[in-house]
Amino acid sequence: MNINSSYKFLLAALMLGTSCNKFVDVALPNSQISTAAAFADDEKANSSMRGIYASTQNVLGSGPFSGVFSSCLGLASDELKSVSYNDDNQAFADNNLTAGSSGVSAIWTGLYNTLYQVNVLLENVKGAPGVSAPVKQQLLGEAHFLRAYCYFYLVNSFGDVPMPVTSDYRVNALLPRTPADKVYELILSDLAYAQENAGAAYTAAGKRIRVNKWTATALLARVQLYRKNWVEAEKQATAVIGAGPYTMESLNNVFLLTSKEAIFQFANAGTNIYTIEGGRMTGKATNPNYRFTTWLAKAFETGDQRLASWTLQASNGDTAYYKYKAIDSGIGEAVVMFRLAEQYLIRAEARAQQNKLADAIADIDVIRKRAGLPVVANVNPGIAKDALLQLIYKERMTELFGEQGHRWFDVKRTGQADALYSVRKPRWRKEAILLPIPLDDRQKNPNLTQNEGYE
C-alpha cells in the first residue's frame, strides 16, 4: 500500500466525474502545516477532524463516500444500469474487473487515504497539551468510528486487507494482508470505543454531520448482522431505534439536511446545497445517470410510493434513480450514510433469524406502511420464516437501492450471489464477489497478494 511519508492530511486524491470511474489526478496542496500546529488547541484539533470529513466530499476528496460505492457497486450488483458506459463502468456491470480498474483504485486509495488521516489524528490528539480533555474524548471517539467504518468497507469489498494502525510509512509500506476476522476484531474494538467516547449529542445543533455514539451503534448493528450475530444485531438496532432523536420521515424528506431519520450524514462541500452523491447518481433530471435494472424494477409492488418519491421516468421509459434532487430543486441535502429505516430492517432480519416472527413483522411493517404498501400483519400474519426473510431482503432492495453498495453486500453476505447473479449477470463468475487488489499498490508492495481469479 502506498503511504505518504510526511505528516500531513491527504486532502487530495481523486476528482470524480458523473460516472463511477471518471477520475482526474489532482496535485496535493502546496501549503502544509505541521502536526503540532494542527493540534495546538481545541479549535485547531476540531478543524483537523472537520478536514477529514470534508475530504470525503469535496472535489479534492477521497471518493468512495461521494458516490463511488453507490454507482460502482450498484452496477456490479443487479440493481442499477448506466445511461452510458465507458470501459470501467462496463467492467463493473459485467463483473469483469481487472487489477487496473480506476474505480477499484478509487475505493481502495480513498479508504486508505482516510485511514491515514485518522491515524495521524489518533496519534497526535491524545497527547496534545493544548487540547482539552472533553474535546480529546470526542475527537478520539469520532476517529475510532471512522477507522472502523473504513475497514468495514475494505474487508467487505476486498476480503483480507492490510491493516495499518499507524501513520508511519516505514511500518505501512510493506504490510501484508490481515485476515478478515482480525480486521473485524479491530472494527468491533473501535466501535466499542466510539460508543463510550463519542458522546450522545451532535456537535452542530440541528445537524447530523458529526459522529456520535448512536452512529457507532448503528454501524455496530450492521456489523453484527453481517457477522450473523443475531442477538447482538437486534440489541444494537433496538438501542438506536429507542434513542430518541430519530424518527421515520416522510419519503420526500429522508435525504434532506434537516432529515430526522438521518443518524449520520456527510455535509456537502463548501456552501453547496447539492451533494456530490446526487450529482453523480442523478445528474440532471432531464437525463438521469443511473436507471433500474429489470430486477430492481420488478421488486417494487404496485402502489409503492417510493417510486413516486425517489425515482423518475427517463425519456426512454426507464425508471431512474432520483433520491437526491437538490441539483434540480435547490433544496438543501446531505449524503445520508446511516438512517433509521436501515435499523428497522436490521432488527427485522435479526428477529426473523431468531424465530421472533411477530416482532420481525412489526419492524418490516414500519417500512411497508411508509411506502404505502399493505402491512404483513394484516395480509399475511402467518408468514413462514424463510418467506419472511425473503420479504425482508426484498424490502432492503427497494428501500436502500443506490445507497452505498447495500445491495451488493446484502447478496454476498446472505449467500445468494452465485444463485442470483449466475442467472442475472451473463458474465458472472464466483470470484467476482471480491474486488481485485489494485495493480499499482501490488507493484509498490510485493507482500500484497491478489484475490483469486485476478492474477
User: Model confidence over 39-65: pLDDT tens digits?
Assistant: 999 999 999 999 999 888 855 444 688
Please compute the mean of the pLDDT values over residues 165-178 and round it to a whole number. 95
* CA angle centred on 154, ends 151 and 155, rounded to 5°: 85
Task: With beta carbons less than 8 A apart as the criterion, state whether 62 and 111 touch.
Answer: yes
Residue 127: pLDDT over 80: yes
Residue 164: pLDDT over 60: yes
Q: Where does residue 37 rank: exposed (0-12), middle (13-18), buried (19+ CB within 10 A)?
A: exposed
What's the pLDDT score for residue 275?
Answer: 87
CA–CA gap between residue 161 and residue 254 (Å, rounded): 34
Residue 4: pLDDT over 70: no
Percent of the chain topping pLDDT 70: 91
Query: Taken in order 438, 439, 442, 443, is the CA torsion positive or negative?
Result: negative
pLDDT tens readout for residues 328-351: 877 889 999 999 999 999 999 999
Identify the CA nearest to 298 among candidates 323, 319, 321, 282: 319
Residue 17: pLDDT over 50: no
Identify the CA nearest to 225 among candidates 16, 32, 410: 410
pTM of the model as a whole: 0.93
Contacts for 374 with CB less than 8 Å, ≥ 6 apart? 368
Residue 362: pLDDT over 50: yes
pLDDT tens readout for residues 240-259: 999 999 999 999 999 999 99
Bridge partners (DSSP) of residue 23 are 16
**Whole-number average pLDDT of the chain:** 90
Residue with cell 456527510: 266
Residue 92: pLDDT over 70: yes
pLDDT tens readout for residues 174-226: 999 999 999 999 999 999 999 999 999 887 777 899 999 999 999 999 999 99
Identify the CA nearest to 95 among candidates 450, 344, 335, 434: 434
Residue 15: pLDDT over 90: no
Residue 143: pLDDT over 60: yes
CA–CA gap between residue 453 and residue 455 (Å, rounded): 6
Please compute the mean of the pLDDT values over residues 69-80 and round it to a whole number. 96
Which domains does the chain carry? Answer: 15-403+435-444 (1.25.40.390)
